[in-house]
Amino acid sequence: MTRTTRPTHPVVADDTPGSLAALAAPAPEHVADDVLVEVGLADRMAPCPSPLGTLWIAWNGRGVAEVELATDGAEALARHEERSGRRTIPGDALPAHLADAVARRLAGERRVRIPLDLRGRTEFEIAVWTKALEIPRGEVRPYGWIAAEIGRPRAVRAVGTALGHNPVPLIVPCHRVVRTDGSIGQYSLGGPGNKRTILAAEGLDPDALEDAARRGARLSGSTTTHIVCWPTCRHARRTQDRYRIAFRSLREAAAAGYRPCKVCRPTALEAAA
Amino acid sequence: MDDTELAHRLARDLDGTFETLVRAHVDRCHAIALRLTGNPHDAEEIAQDALVRAYRALCTYEPERIRELRVRPWLATIVLNLCRNRARTRTLPSTPLDPLVEAGREPRADAASDPAGEALRTADRERLAAHLAALPERYRIPVVLRHVDDLSYAELSAVLGRPEGTLKAQVHRGLALLRVAMAGTEREELSA
């Protein structure tokens, strides 16, 4: 047979195919971590600049899991690990698509899709945060509005608690939810000062809002359309001053012949009250 | 931990055990992909993709099915399919030799780190890798799975769906071709 006349070579001799095993090059170290992050069994956390300071954003293949304001990344990472129960791997920066989406969301684009990893959160919390996502940049709504909109009109306090536990502030704009009495209220991302800063950056005047609420101007109507809105609703804001009328409550507005705006739906406060 | 115990633990606690599976199998997934595609970039992507797909598949399996899973050949099948898909969508031939060295996948010559002299000389390994990548697919796949990954013929038969006898012949033929190729390049070197 010709086979017997073939030259033999020690590298691939019949009895030592083990030499081929030497071709089993190990995978680069990051591959295992990449797999675990992609399936959501580990997270990565990286810094991201923002007007409030450096945000530390944790994410995995399912979505963004946490946004935290911190000067010390190692501490932010340790806290996230503790809260999430997942090993968290430090990263240099967000993946390009995520960084771009976050930047656009922070700039006010609502249509940017940012997947979130909200495993372990309650249905109620997720309902509250999803509703908060509907509030446009430059506008605010009271806690009671969210409570009424998600069909839990009496759960105003629980709404406040859920917003306080929002793991992804700025991405879910809990800063656009204010107290039912019209005052700006608390904020989880570094306190109420930051809440005012962000609202101001979004084009609102928090002091003027609180002043108006204290004077009893809780809703804003237009004498030409006879429609009543939340004061920061885009339809209320484009009403000229001379046609603007303030109401203390929806009942007062209704008595004057005004109907609630279909966009900002101020009916909810009445239900919450 | 052997495959059976790994499968049992996966069935009990998928999320708590999956990292063990990844750590135990990532290198061989990568090695199979590297030797089947000959491209280090593809190999990394395929190894990652294969393990991600494995996790997503396990999420849909009943515990009973996971317990009976033979993890080694199952993962090899996923890697093999991904390599085939990639080969199908790619028209450019891969360049198996230099990029591996450049990417650091293929260790450079370093006799000092190999005191026992058991491993191949780097030059030999590079030539072997090149010839392996040049083998026709019907020989290359069984040779890689049998001798780079060390699957048994029974496992190989499960992965490739061919009888063990056929596979033994294909591996034998593949090795013979490699032997000829290696001897050929050696003669070239001598006469050069």
Contact B120 A38 (CB under 8 A): no
CB pairs under 8 A between A and B: 104
d(CA A51, CA A106): 10
* DSSP category for residue B144: I
Question: Between β-strands A42-50 and A53-60, what pairing exists: parallel, antiparallel or unpaired?
Answer: antiparallel
* A48, A174, A233, A261: the active-site residue: A174
What rounded mean pLDDT belongs to chain A?
88
- Hey, of B124, B127, B146, B168, which one would you mutate to test binding to chain A, going by the most A CBs within 10 A of its CB? B124
Q: What is the pLDDT along chain B (192 residues), one digit of tens a residue?
A: 788 999 999 999 999 999 999 999 999 999 999 999 988 999 999 999 999 999 999 999 999 999 999 999 999 999 999 999 988 776 555 554 454 554 555 554 444 454 444 455 777 888 888 899 889 989 999 999 999 998 999 999 999 999 999 999 999 999 999 988 888 876 665 565
Would an 8 Å CB–CB cutoff place B57 in contact with chain A? no
A40 near A117, Cβ under 8 Å? yes
Read off the pLDDT band of A3 (50, 70, 90). very low
Q: Report chain B residues whose CB lies below 8 A from the CB of A32.
A: 22-23, 26
| Chain A residues touching residue B43 (CB < 8 angstroms) | 27
| Side-chain-facing half-sphere of A27: CA atoms under 13 Å | 28
Task: Return the closest-CA partner of residue A132 out of A116, A147, A117.
Answer: A147
**Quick one: which of A254, A193, A207, A203 has its CA closest to A227?**
A254
| Residue B146 burial (10 A CB sphere; 0-12, 13-18, 19+) | buried
Between chains, do B44 and A38 touch, taking CB under 8 Å as contact?
no
pLDDT per residue as tens digits for the range A115-168: 999 999 999 999 999 999 999 999 999 999 999 999 999 999 999 999 999 999
pLDDT digits (tens, 9 = 90+) for A204-213: 999 998 998 8
Question: How many whole angstroms separate alpha carbon A119 and alpha carbon B80?
Answer: 33
The question of whether A174 is a catalytic residue gets the answer yes
**Residue B28 and residue B14: Cα distance in Å, rounded?**
21
Of A248, A244, A184, A245, the residue nearest A216 (C-alpha): A248
Q: A-chain residues within 8 Å CB-CB of B41?
A: none
First to last CA, chain A: 97
The Cα of B150 is separated from the nearest Cα of chain A by a number of Å equal to: 8
Please state, in angstroms and rounded to a whole number, the distance separating the CA atoms of residues A146 and A126: 12
| DSSP line for A133-164 | TTSPTT--EEHHHHHHHTT-TT-HHHHHHHHH
Q: Which residues, listed in sequence order, are joined to residue A92 by a DSSP beta bridge?
A: none
Position B105 scores a pLDDT of 53
Antiparallel, parallel or unpaired: β A177-178 and A63-69: unpaired
| Token pair recorded at residue B1 | 């931990």
Closest CB from B34, B52, B175 relative to A39? B52
Taking CB atoms and an 8 Å limit, are B52 and A31 in contact across chains? no
Mutate to test the interface with A, among B13, B14, B17, B27 (most CBs of A within 10 A): B27
B 144-163 residues with CB < 8 A to A: 146-150
pLDDT value at residue A12: 54
Residue B119 pLDDT? 52
**A116: number of Cβ within 10 Å:** 20
The beta-carbon neighbor of A8 closest among B28, B143, B179 is B179
DSSP for A66-133, written as a single string: EEEE-S-HHHHHHHHHHHH-SEEEE-SS--HHHHHHHHHHHTT-SS----B--TT--HHHHHHHHHHT
- Burial of A166: CB neighbours in 10 Å, binned 0-12, 13-18, 19+: buried
Q: What is the pTM of this model?
A: 0.82
- Are the C-beta atoms of residues A149 and A133 closer than 8 Å to each other? no
The answer to whether A11 faces chain B, any CB pair under 8 Å, is yes
Give the residue from chain B lying closest to A40, CA to CA.
B15
Nearest Cα residue in chain A from B46: A31
Whether the CB-CB separation of B123 and B109 falls below 8 Å is answered with yes
Q: Does B128 touch chain A (CB under 8 A)?
A: yes
Tell me the two tokens of residue A77.
């990472």
Residues within 8 A of A (CB atoms), B 59-78 only: none
Could you tell me if A107 lies within 8 Å of chain B, comparing CB atoms? no
**CA pair distance A55, B120, nearest whole angstrom:** 50
Q: Which H helix or E strand runs over A259? A: strand A259-260
Residue A197 scores a pLDDT above 50:
yes
CB–CB of A35 and B149 under 8 A? no
Per-residue pLDDT tens digits for A96-118: 999 999 888 888 787 888 999 99
Q: Confirm if B35 and B132 have CB atoms less than 8 A apart.
A: yes
The verdict on A16 touching B (C-beta cutoff 8 Å) is no
Q: A220 pLDDT band (50/70/90 cuts)? A: very high
- How many Å apart are CA A72 and CA A80, to the nearest integer? 13
